[in-house]
């Protein structure tokens, strides 16, 4: 813990308080900061000018990051018949059935994402109260309830991330690993921001992108100038 605190303090000395950096500057600073002994994940926090309490201002979506996430994603697919084979051929790690449902009820979670064909949602619904709080419940709005299981699996394996604005109006999302380097991280952040901007609710008035901050797991946050991203 002491080592972590020292690293963050050292990193913060290089970040000018109150300054908003360009995306290029921010990612270069994150990569140049003192690091932990593991390949840290880089995350982005975007504060939006929306009120998530209103259904018409809920911002939720997904994006396939151009450079992936730098991690292996274990995909569980609930499908049957030809769709089961399609999912496996596309790289799915597991096919869901009644046995898998019982294992999940018993506390088994050796998977990272879940996809389901529409005709299997009755089966998935049996564990909805378990998957939902963990952010694992398939949802058609983000493309995880679909008959096109092959592309859904490939997207998740390639680094597709889902995001949803929280009660405080903030979207949190991973955008890669420090080992990616500044250029690839910038490309991933740009892809995320482009998608968030496209999802701007019509009922959202005033400034939509209020603030953006990027940080690594053990590092200090660096603010990015929201004006770098066009919202209209």
The reply to whether 118 and 138 lie within a common domain is yes
The reply to whether 139 and 212 lie within a common domain is no
pLDDT at 208 (0 to 100): 95
Query: How many structural domains does the chain have?
Result: 2
Q: What is the pLDDT of residues 6-25, one digit of tens each?
A: 555 555 556 787 899 999 99
10 inside domain: no
In CATH, what number is assigned to the domain containing residue 215?
3.30.190.20
Q: What is the pLDDT of residues 147-177, one digit of tens each?
A: 999 999 999 999 899 899 999 999 999 999 9
The reply to whether 134 and 153 lie within a common domain is yes
172 inside domain: yes
- Residue 82, classed as helix, strand or coil, is helix
Can you read off the two tokens belonging to residue 128? 């909805």
- Of 158, 190, 214, which marks where a domain is finished? 158
Is a pLDDT exceeding 90 seen at residue 219? Answer: no
CA-derived radius of gyration, the chain: 19
Can you read off the two tokens belonging to residue 211? 């603030």
Return the residue matching tokens 């504060």.
47
Q: What is the pLDDT of residues 18-74, one digit of tens each?
A: 899 999 999 999 999 888 889 999 999 999 999 999 999 999 999 999 999 998 899
The reply to whether 107 and 144 lie within a common domain is yes
- Of 106, 133, 158, which marks where a domain is finished? 158
pLDDT at 8 (0 to 100): 52
Can you read off the two tokens belonging to residue 41? 């994940």
The reply to whether 82 and 138 lie within a common domain is yes
Q: How far apart are CA 28 and CA 10, in angstroms?
A: 16
The reply to whether 123 and 82 lie within a common domain is yes
The whole-number average pLDDT for the span 190-194 is: 96
- 218 vs 187 pLDDT, higher one: 187
Contact in structure between 84 and 96 (CB atoms under 8 Å): no
Q: What is the pLDDT of residues 88-126, one digit of tens each?
A: 999 999 999 999 999 999 999 999 999 999 999 999 999
7 inside domain: no
Is a pLDDT exceeding 70 seen at residue 178? Answer: yes
In CATH, what number is assigned to the domain containing residue 113?
3.40.50.790
Query: 182-198 and 23-32 helices cross at what angle (nearest 10)?
Result: 130
- Of 132, 158, 184, which marks where a domain is finished? 158
Q: Which residues neighbour 151 within 8 Å (Cβ) at sequence distance 6 or greater?
A: 90
Q: How far apart are CA 210 and CA 129, in angstroms?
A: 33
The reply to whether 111 and 49 lie within a common domain is no
Residue 171 lies in domain: 17-68+161-228
pLDDT at 204 (0 to 100): 86
200 inside domain: yes
């Amino acid at each position: 813990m002491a080592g972590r605190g020292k690293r963050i303090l050292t990193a913060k000395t290089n970040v000018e308080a109150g300054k908003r950096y360009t995306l290029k500057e921010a990612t270069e600073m994150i990569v140049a900061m003192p690091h932990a002994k593991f390949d840290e994940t880089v995350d982005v926090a975007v504060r939006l000018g929306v009120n998530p309490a209103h259904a018409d201002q809920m911002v939720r979506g997904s994006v396939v990051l151009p450079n992936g996430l730098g991690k292996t994603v274990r995909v569980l697919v609930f499908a049957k018949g030809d769709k089961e084979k399609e999912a496996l051929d596309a790289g799915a790690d597991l096919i869901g059935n009644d046995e898998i449902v019982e294992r999940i009820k018993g506390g088994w979670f050796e998977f990272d994402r879940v996809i389901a064909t529409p005709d299997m949602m009755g089966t998935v619904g049996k564990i909805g109260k378990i998957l939902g709080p963990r952010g694992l419940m398939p949802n058609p709005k983000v493309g995880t309830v679909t008959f096109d299981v092959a592309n859904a699996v490939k997207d998740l394996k390639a680094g597709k991330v889902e995001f949803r604005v929280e009660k405080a109006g903030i979207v949190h999302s991973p955008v890669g690993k420090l080992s990616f380097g500044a250029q690839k991280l910038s490309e991933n952040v740009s892809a995320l921001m482009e998608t968030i901007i496209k999802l701007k609710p019509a009922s959202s008035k005033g400034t939509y992108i209020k603030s953006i901050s990027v940080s690594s797991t053990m590092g200090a946050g660096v603010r990015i100038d929201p004006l770098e991203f066009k919202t209209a």
